[in-house]
């Protein structure tokens, strides 16, 4: 797992293509210098699918999440929030399967193996910005149907960003807010619905949103929108000390930092960010406590319109639908008509070719 630097050092040490990490104070705005990758242009990658909602001409999309049956990856879903109206469940071709009019939902995530009354489900959860809490759903992997589960209130103000994580058998909800606060709630099935217990509070200096948990490495990544990407030890008993991963430099990473996701491929782990300011996706290969910058891509070209002013992002590692090595879903603020926002999908193989990844 990524180790914590307890020395208090604030240096950002660069090698020719690798950012070696050191602990930084929350809110520190030092810009990394000397990277051989500075100025590297984003490589074009065409979208292979997009979501289509015909019942609402003004979908206010924000954040997607992908799921596939690991035994039969042709059985797959593409789930996305409408931050005005609720939650859409799409097939992988982008058509709508289900819609839940549950209000302004911002970020969404899921984890498998959540047991309710002896039956394993996929727990889906999303930050709800009107009632200040988390809305949950259960996906039955046998039927691929989603049903409402329950609401979890929080007292942290508006839960803006959100992700989920797993530690052993425990599943965690990770909301964050515009004050830079993130919380780690363990969630279990109660007799009347989900029950969440707060185990830890984390903090950076300013507004956050995008986050992701690397369940394998037990690392929580948090995007501070105008500053950069931080990591925390995911152990709720560990000190809540942030370590800088990468600072906004407006060359590799442009504010706002929005979505974060993890892609695994061939024994390698990649951290991918959604860089809203220039609608690009920087990719780092994670090598212990070193993050090796591999390049950036933009979703453009091909028959589907380009992605602009991107927000949330999610990667599925391994086979999903017709994509044998994985796929990435991302938010697009304009589907070409100037009104409706939607989600685009790219084939991980196309990203690998564009960035010359092994």
pLDDT in tens, 214-273: 999 999 999 999 999 999 999 999 999 999 999 999 999 999 999 999 999 999 999 999
Per-residue pLDDT, 78: 98
Q: For residue 1, is pLDDT > 80?
A: no
Higher pLDDT, 101 or 339: 101
Q: Is residue 305 part of a domain?
A: yes
Q: Is residue 1 part of a domain?
A: no
Higher pLDDT, 23 or 323: 323
Chain centroid offset of residue 341 CA: 18
Side-chain-side CA neighbours of 55 within 13 Å: the count stands at 10
| Residue 250 belongs to domain with CATH number | 2.120.10.30
**pLDDT confidence bin for 148, thresholds 50/70/90:** very high
Q: Is residue 281 part of a domain?
A: yes
Q: Is residue 4 part of a domain?
A: no
Q: Provide the 10 A C-beta neighbour count for residue 6.
A: 9
Cβ pair 211, 176 in contact under 8 A: yes
Domain that holds residue 285: 13-355
Average pLDDT score, the chain: 90
Q: Is residue 2 part of a domain?
A: no
Name the token pair of 8: 């208090």
Per-residue pLDDT, 338: 76
Alpha helices (H) in 196-308, listed in sequence order? none
Pairing mode, strands 96-100 and 86-90: antiparallel
Per-residue pLDDT, 197: 98
Pairing mode, strands 257-265 and 268-275: antiparallel
Can you tell me which residue has the tokens 């965690």? 172
Q: Is residue 117 part of a domain?
A: yes
Q: How far apart are CA 327 and CA 347, in angstroms?
A: 5
Considering the chain, what percentage of its residues have pLDDT values greater than 70? 89
Q: Is residue 301 part of a domain?
A: yes
Q: For residue 18, is pLDDT > 70?
A: no
Q: Is residue 177 part of a domain?
A: yes
DSSP 318-357: S-BTTBTTEEEEEEES--SSSS--EEEEEEHHHHHHHHT-
Number of domains in the chain: 1
């Amino acid at each position: 797992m990524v180790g914590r630097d307890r020395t208090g050092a604030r240096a950002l040490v660069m090698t020719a293509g690798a950012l070696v990490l050191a602990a930084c104070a929350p809110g520190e705005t030092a810009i990394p210098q000397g990277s051989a990758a500075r100025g590297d242009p984003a490589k074009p990658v065409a979208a292979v699918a997009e979501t289509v909602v015909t019942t609402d001409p003004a979908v206010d999309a924000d954040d997607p999440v992908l799921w596939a049956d690991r035994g039969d990856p042709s059985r797959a879903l593409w789930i996305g929030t409408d931050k005005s109206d609720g939650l859409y469940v799409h097939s992988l071709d982008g058509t709508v399967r289900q819609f839940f009019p549950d209000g302004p939902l911002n970020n969404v995530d899921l984890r498998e193996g959540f047991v309710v009354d002896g039956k394993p489900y996929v727990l889906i959860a999303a930050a709800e910005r009107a009632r200040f809490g988390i809305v949950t759903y259960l996906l039955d992997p046998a039927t691929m149907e989603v049903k409402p589960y329950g609401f979890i209130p929080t007292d942290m103000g508006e839960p803006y960003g959100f992700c989920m994580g797993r530690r052993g058998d425990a599943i965690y909800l990770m909301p964050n807010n515009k004050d830079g606060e993130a919380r780690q709630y363990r969630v279990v099935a109660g007799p009347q619905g989900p029950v969440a217990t707060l185990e830890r509070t984390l903090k950076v200096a300013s507004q956050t949103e995008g986050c992701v948990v690397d369940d394998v490495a037990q690392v929580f990544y948090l995007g501070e929108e105008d500053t950069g990407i931080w990591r925390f030890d995911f152990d709720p008993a560990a000190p809540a000390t942030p370590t800088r991963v990468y600072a906004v430099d407006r060359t590799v990473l442009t504010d706002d930092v929005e979505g974060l996701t993890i892609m695994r491929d061939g024994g390698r782990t990649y951290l991918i960010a959604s860089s809203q300011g220039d609608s690009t996706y920087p990719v780092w290969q994670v090598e212990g406590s070193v993050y090796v910058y591999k390049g950036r891509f933009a979703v453009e070209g091909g028959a589907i319109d380009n992605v602009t002013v991107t927000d949330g992002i999610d990667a599925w590692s391994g086979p999903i639908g017709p994509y044998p090595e994985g796929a990435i879903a991302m938010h697009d603020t304009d589907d070409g008509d100037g009104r409706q926002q939607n989600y685009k999908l790219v084939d991980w193989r196309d990203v690998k070719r564009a960035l010359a990844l092994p």
